[in-house]
């Protein structure tokens, strides 16, 4: 069925949903190259998870070292709050990264159905990072605003 409208977008078999076809059922169709690229992310996701775990451990060891120092109680409390916030953020990222690494490993092992899990975990990781960036930038702008307000009151 072709139309004579020159402004109509071209019809493709890949993108047009056929009633009852795979696109209509929501099936995930990925090429072999895409599956190979997704499975190739497994070592990177594991490495990033390890580095995040190491970052958490270094932060906690640094906090213990700071608490044994001769700083004021206010400085110690600020360090505890800072490390607690960064540990929560890193732990959230670590949970998503481990899920991503596990799904990518399953895909690498040949479980083709894990492709959807890899994509979902990847989307969760990027969504989490976006949320953290927006919240961090909002806090930064708020702190700058407070600093400018306090500076102008002098």
pTM: 0.68
Q: What's the confidence (pLDDT) of residue 23?
A: 47
Is 63:79 a contact under the CB 8 Å cutoff? Answer: yes
Of the listed ranges 25-34, 82-91, 124-133, the least confidently predicted one is 25-34
Q: What's the confidence (pLDDT) of residue 132?
A: 92
Q: What's the confidence (pLDDT) of residue 91?
A: 94
Q: Across all residues in the chain, what is the average pLDDT?
A: 84
Q: Is the pLDDT of residue 31 over 90?
A: no
| CB contact set of 87 (below 8 Å; sequence gap of 6+) | 56, 59, 60
Break the chain into its structural domains and give their ranges.
34-152
Q: What's the confidence (pLDDT) of residue 27?
A: 60
Q: Using CA atoms, how far apart are residues 132 and 92, in angstroms rounded to an integer?
A: 10
Helix (H, G, I), strand (E, B) or coil at 48: helix
- The sign of the dihedral angle between the CA atoms of 8, 12, 13, 18 is negative
Output the CA–CA distances (angstroms, integers) from residue 10 to 18, 23, 52, 143, in the order listed: 15, 18, 47, 52
């Amino acid at each position: 069925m072709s139309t004579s409208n020159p402004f109509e977008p071209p019809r493709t078999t890949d993108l047009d949903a056929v009633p009852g076809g795979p696109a209509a059922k929501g099936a995930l169709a990925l090429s072999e190259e895409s599956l190979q690229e997704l499975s190739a992310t497994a070592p990177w996701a594991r490495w990033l998870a390890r580095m995040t775990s190491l970052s958490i451990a270094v932060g906690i060891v640094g906090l213990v070292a700071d608490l044994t120092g001769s700083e004021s109680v206010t400085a110690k409390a600020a360090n505890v709050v800072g490390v607690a916030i960064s540990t929560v953020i890193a732990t959230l990222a670590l949970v998503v990264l481990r899920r991503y690494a596990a799904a990518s490993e399953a895909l690498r092992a040949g479980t083709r159905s894990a492709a959807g899990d890899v994509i979902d975990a990847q989307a969760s990781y990027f969504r989490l990072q976006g949320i953290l960036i927006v919240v961090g930038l909002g806090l930064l702008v708020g702190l700058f605003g407070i600093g400018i307000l306090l500076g102008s009151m002098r």
